[in-house]
Amino acid sequence: ETGVTQSPTHLIKTRGQQVTLRCSSQSGHNTVSWYQQALGQGPQFIFQYYREEENGRGNFPPRFSGLQFPNYSSELNVNALELDDSALYLCASSFRDRGYGYTFGSGTRLTVV
Amino acid sequence: GNSVTQMEGPVTLSEEAFLTINCTYTATGYPSLFWYVQYPGEGLQLLLKATKADDKGSNKGFEATYRKETTSFHLEKGSVQVSDSAVYFCALPAGGTSYGKLTFGQGTILTVHP
């Protein structure tokens, strides 16, 4: 079975711009979560999508938004980028009804300058 | 919600030394507990997990026992290798209505020298 793939692997954006990060779930998984990991910190939960709807959100402003598609892939969109948005963004997929079997992708390293 | 406190690092060991990384948790009920590992430049990999009290998770020579009496889930390895150098995170479900949200510790950097 394929794992979780994220694209792009690295990205540099300018403050105020918008960015879209993409995630393909592991085969058979129907739930996607996104995490932000600042340098030297543990991952922080942004939100989760299940059946194409947001199903839980962490302490992040509305300029962080997402989508989940019928094939369970997902996008994370960030508007009006700020310098503090520079981080590793991790996507994790799971099959909700089987408990917490999360599989993480390798992440997208976003640098805002 | 649930929370986790993880031993601060960094931890520096010589090859074949014994490793312990402490993790304690605060939780409602008895949630599953996890250890994740992050190698340089990579995402998170599940190292091991325990789903109920007194369970022992193990993988690649690493072990951790779910101890409800001390609310701990310490990670141990009897003989570390250079290839074990990475960041280790203790985690558990956030609990409450936050389905699917994992709460992570701050991470412990492990460096193993030959």
Q: Note whether A43 contacts B: Cβ–Cβ < 8 A.
A: yes
Rounded percentage of chain B residues whose pLDDT exceeds 90: 74
* C-beta atoms of A33 and B102 within 8 A: yes
pLDDT digits (tens, 9 = 90+) for B42-98: 889 999 999 889 999 999 999 999 999 999 999 999 999 999 999 999 999 877 655
Residue A4: closest C-alpha in chain B: B43
Contact indicator for A33, B98 with CB cutoff of 8 Å:
no
Residue B31: closest C-alpha in chain A: A100
* C-beta atoms of B104 and A99 within 8 A: no
CA dihedral A69→A65→B37→B7, nearest 10 degrees, is -150
Give the separation between CA B67 and CA B45, rounded to whole angstroms.
Answer: 23
Q: Identify the CA nearest to B90 among candidates B76, B107, B78, B77.
A: B107
- Sort strands A108-112 and A10-13 into parallel, antiparallel or unpaired: parallel
- The partner residue sitting opposite A42, judged by closest CB among B94, B101, B105, is B105
Tokens 């412990």 sit at which residue?
B108
